[in-house]
Structure 1
């Protein structure tokens, strides 16, 4: 396979009757999806030139997939837009991407009111009566395959420019280490505007597996779909696992023999949650991962090591090298913290229309082999540390660094220590500036269900955390704010913690 379109066309040619998508009670075969994609491709080819961007503002659906693959067949560059974004965010992405065509439904027309649509057609793909495009427009692996926006929560979202080679490498690598086979059924719950969610589809299609669409994030609804569709794989972020591990959750009390693995990314999974999942489904493989949109996926932890290393982000994914570089530009030995640098085939081209930021993040290989041609790597901005066995541990963002009692630390380090208590589901720490030499450390937590209280957690922090890591205040919340992709909105939470508050707090 050379382009993303081949993920659909190859299976459609070989096994047209294999089920590609299940949406409720409706099953769509690879052959049917390919036919619908070709109809979309005819329209897109008439409206665009190769490489033009096509915005897709649709809920997760067969129509959205037909539009996405239709854009690839027409040699366009599709841009998924999260269907829950507001007018300002939608307008920013469409304008910034320079989209020549918008595929959406009348339901979302109010989101387009801030756009000049004079030379930008808006079409509902469900209404197309086009003749299928007879032959796909030619593309090669190095051509642009779309833009993935790093955030939809503000008007300054950056578009990461990805190639067909990038997306195919990500699909192949993930399908490899998850051991995907044609009989797998992957629950598609995450937005396809999110690289993690999009990869679920592409990795499944890479092996001819089935995607099961799920729109509701309500825990009982998800469990019903797991049962009804006999789902074998589920990808999520920490807030999803919180929704699926409430005290009476079917996932904890009813066997799910078909479900063989889950994956987590977008934030660390608390050891207490991992233990609950293992107790509820002992056969389940739990795959902990770390990634960044600029290179998709960087590391994963083999399920065999999760119990022994629940706070590790694992090792490099296949066909990828992870380098830890110190602030002095030298490689870091085990035990020394440095910036994670990603080398491999998933490294994107850069940020769309942003050469200055691209130059800061996408840089030459810091330690090239003699005689090796120039190669671009991604400087993640994330600090990690490796142990003597090569397992990596996330320390925090470069811009989180501060000094507490004269020791350099990040808020993520403190959050990791609090989660290790087994008493919380999630923790967010803010370092609030004061007039003194040290910041005020305030922690917001969601407690583990029915097993802990604020008094126990305060005592744990006093007893187990080093003095420079101990929060001055702890605030207990029922839930954390989340981003459009379901991840805990740590920036918003830290902003809240920096404001005066009076309830539900303790001084350890």
Structure 2
């Protein structure tokens, strides 16, 4: 199959299906591509009448409503920057994103607004009920925006502090959609069940890549694996994307044979598929291809593994996706030899524009590509250690940072520690990710303080943090170890905890 056109366009041009073909299906009904285009224009028109300046930020804090699906296209069409907020986040995290992004509008629902306190929303940010926005009003046609212009800011956790905003251009989003539609071989006949949060690059791309291929998206907010099974049957889904913990749950669910047979494509990211999971998916979904992928928000997606290779190479993350230049680099900046571990560096037009208003962290992660790279300019230095084999496949070795990944969610230890210490129940705290069979990792917090305060701490965190950020285990000590510089000795604590878990 020929490489797709690498020339980027404004992201709102991504609606490439036939006007009368189905573009979106949910419990409220369906939209054709013509109806979806009208909705995008209508919302863009409404946004254009709100007194915002070009480049202003508009945040959405919503489940997978129709407005949440339309906004990634409508906001850029209006010359604005979309800031999707994970619907699972609580008020403290939402307040941080609103303040950090400088959002001028927050589009949400009254039940969510009621959880916010007065200081959570900046004075310059208006809160709008999504019910006020119509999908059948007047609005502009497809934009002529500069593909290099900022289109979205996606917030992702960093290892040392609060979530940081990754800046994505029209070109980043357009080329990511075209690339994925190409290597997944999506077609107009495909129906993609979108279960992942739209605030994730992986989740949002389910919309964009499907529409770039002229297919249909069925957005779903689910509570149980059974909800997903029913939705596959109801929507006649052909494609399902997930993260390893979701696959564990789905393999435990009851699947009618005819429902399982509907799926022809399973895609995975947000954590490695184990050989056991691959075998389970093969047995349950015999008609489906399994596509393993690796990526990071700062470069969207780096590699994918051809479905024909996964059984023989379950440990591989594959080869570079279209438009990505992926390489293994030694610490001195030279190319690593075949089979030699090095840092994965991603160059090319999928590389994001850096972190929003954070020059220091941008300079640390976004640096010039190595001298030997075919794609010059800025590259993302991932901090992940990989090797490239003689077969040309990349294999993941380890992660240099301290990120915790629970059920596909990247969690900052620093953010957990900040929340733990905020109430004064403990003097010091270190958050550590430990292996967990169902969720990939679970959070253990080692604390200095009085263990009698644990129940009060747990109660407070249940209100302060979303469910995926809740510590599973609390280990209380009189004091925590320090290194020669007087800092908390996180490495020793981590090694100690992990040795106990794995022994």
TM-score normalised to structure 1 length: 0.76
**Correspondence for 1:148:** 154
Match of 2:437 in 1: 446
Q: How many residues align?
A: 425
Task: Report deviation, 1:445.
Answer: 4.3
- Inter-CA distance 496–182: structure 2 relative to 1 (3 Å threshold): farther
Correspondences of 1:45-194 after superposition (within 5 Å) = 45-47=48-50, 48-113=52-117, 114-128=119-133, 131-135=137-141, 138-151=144-157, 156-194=162-200
Paired position in structure 2 for 1:202: 208
The answer to whether the 8 Å contact 2:233/2:259 transfers is: no
Output the CA distance in 2 between the equivalents of 1:57 and 1:63.
10
Q: 1:220 aligns with which of 215, 220, 226?
A: 226
What is the aligned partner in structure 2 of residue 365 from structure 1? Answer: 369
Deviations 1:263-300 (A, max 9, x none): 11111111111101101222210001100000010011
SS of the aligned residue for 1:27 comes to: strand
Matched, 1:323 2:309: no
Residues 258-407 of structure 1 mapped to structure 2, 5 A cutoff: 258-368=262-372, 374-399=376-401
Q: Which residue of 2 aligns with 1:423?
A: none
Q: Are residues 333 and 38 of structure 1, via their aligned partners in 2, closer, same or farther at CA, if it must alter by over 3 Å?
A: same
In structure 1, C-alpha distance between the alignment counterparts of 2:56 and 2:501, rounded to whole Å: 55
**SS of 2:42 mapped into structure 1:** helix
What do residues 7-62 of structure 1 show as CA deviations (whole Å, max 9, x unaligned)?
Answer: 13x54xxx332211111361122222222222221221122121111101111121
List runs of 5+ in structure 2 lacking aligned partners: 1-7, 406-431, 440-464, 477-492
**Once structures 1 and 2 are overlaid, which stretch shifts more, 272-281 or 129-138?**
129-138
Whether the 8 Å contact between 1:40 and 1:125 is mirrored in structure 2 is no
Deviation at 1:127, TM superposition (A): 2.1
- Tell me which of the two structures has the higher relative contact order, counting C-alpha pairs closer than 8 angstroms and 6 or more residues apart: 2
- Report SS of the residue matched to 2:49: helix
What does residue 450 of structure 2 align with?
A: none
**CA RMSD of the aligned region, Å?**
3.3
Residues 303-343 of structure 1: per-residue CA shift (max 9 Å, x gap): 10000011111111122221111123221111211000001
Deviations 1:129-177 (A, max 9, x none): 5841244554111100110111399971010001000011110110001
Compute the displacement of 1:373 (Å).
8.7
| 8 Å CA contact 1:34, 1:66 repeated in 2 | no
Partner of 2:397: helix, strand, or coil?
strand
Label 1:229 to 1:120 Cα distance change in 2 as closer, same or farther (>3 A): same
User: Which of 20, 27, 34 is residue 24 of structure 1 equivalent to?
Assistant: 27
Equivalent in the alignment of 1:415: none
Matched-pair contact (CA < 8 Å) for 2:13–2:142: no
Contact 1:42 1:133 (8 Å CA) reproduced: yes
For the 8 Å contact 1:255–1:280, the answer to whether it is kept is no
| Mean CA deviation greater in 66-75 or 163-172 | 66-75
Measure the CA separation in 2 of the matches of 1:507 and 1:144: 45
Distance 2:48 2:402 in 1: 46
Does structure 1 conserve the Cα–Cα contact (< 8 Å) formed by 2:14 and 2:212? yes
**C-alpha offsets along residues 371-394 of structure 1, whole Å, 9 cap, x if unaligned?**
x89511110000001221111111
**For the structure 1 residues 233 and 136, does the alpha-carbon distance in structure 2 shift closer, same or farther, using more than 3 Å as the test?**
closer
Instruction: Specify which of 38, 43, 62 is matched with residue 41 of structure 2.
Output: 38
Alpha-carbon distance in structure 2 between the residues aligned to 1:225 and 1:300? 26
Q: Residues 494, 158 of structure 1: CA spacing in aligned structure 2 closer, same or farther, 3 A cutoff?
A: farther
Distance in 1 between residues matched to 2:318 and 2:109, nearest whole Å: 42
Task: Give per-residue Cα distances to partners, 1:94-143, cap 9 Å, x unaligned.
Answer: 11111111111212112442334533222223323584124455411110
Alpha-carbon contact 1:190-1:485 (below 8 Å) kept: no
CA distance, structure 2, for counterparts of residue 311 and residue 131 of structure 1? 51
TM-score (norm. length: structure 2): 0.77
